[in-house]
Amino acid sequence: MAITDWPATERPREKLADRGPEALTDAELLAIFLRTGVPGRSAVDLAAELLERFGGLRTLLAADREAFCAGPGLGSAKYLQLQAVTEMTRRFLAESLHREEAIESASAARDYLTARLRDREREVFAALFLDTRHRVLAFEELFTGTIDGSEVHARELVRRALHHNAAAVIIAHNHPSGVAEPSAADADLTQRLRSALELMEVRLLDHFVIGDGAVASFAQRGEL
């Protein structure tokens, strides 16, 4: 049955207009993006099949061009549109972070860093550099490693902190394995970087370890 034959209250666009985006399922939200289905399947049917094939909305958004375009009813134009939507989300989070006092909005910093690092196939170490009022000066990806580790140099983090005239830093790295639990090496690294920054009178406010759906915070664990 075509979506136009559904009761008006059940059509994705009408539900979005009347009840807001929170009322829609992942398939319904994706159907609005797809706009049309394929012969014999509505946009919602097609969206549900795509979510099942990719294993969920997040993995669909993170898919590369070849994998995405292999789906029925999809192509390069849709892939590029989806990449634009995803990047707008990242930039929205970045703007929100720059508008707020970072130390008073740890969740904003966590959400932004998660959006930037969670789906990376290799381990990436990044930093947010903050001013004396803990407003964000810059975000930088400093080191990229393998699927199970990256080599982090304290001198480079200190050099970039001084370059930005930062008063404080929040660091983060992802675990491509999906497990957010910090390792002993992560704990040692945190203390080493903290000590190096303190020599330059720069505070290390937090170290986030980003996994699949979970984020560990050294500050919340009482280890900073």
| Total structural domains within the chain | 2
In a domain, 81, yes or no: no
The secondary structure element, H or E, covering residue 68 is helix 65-69
Q: What CATH number does residue 207 fall under? A: 3.40.140.10
- Where in the sequence is the domain holding 64, given as residue range(s)? 3-74
In a domain, 88, yes or no: no
Backbone angles phi, psi at 173, to 5 degrees: -150, 155
Q: pTM for this structure?
A: 0.61
Specify the amino acid at residue 179: V
In a domain, 108, yes or no: yes
In a domain, 203, yes or no: yes
In a domain, 15, yes or no: yes
- The 8-class DSSP code of residue 213 comes to S
Q: Are 163 and 57 within one domain?
A: no
Residue 175 CB contacts under 8 Å (≥ 6 apart), including other chains: 123, 209, 210, 211
Cβ pair 12, 28 in contact under 8 A: yes
Cβ pair 79, 180 in contact under 8 A: no
User: How confident is the model over 124-152, as pLDDT tens digits?
Assistant: 999 999 998 888 888 999 988 765 556 78
- Structure tokens of 172? 């983060």
In a domain, 26, yes or no: yes
User: How confident is the model over 11-64, as pLDDT tens digits?
Assistant: 777 877 888 877 778 888 888 887 777 777 777 888 888 888 888 877 787 788
- Is residue 192 over pLDDT 70? yes
- Structure tokens of 222? 């009482």
Of 74, 94, 125, the one marking the end of a domain is 74
Q: Are 63 and 110 within one domain?
A: no
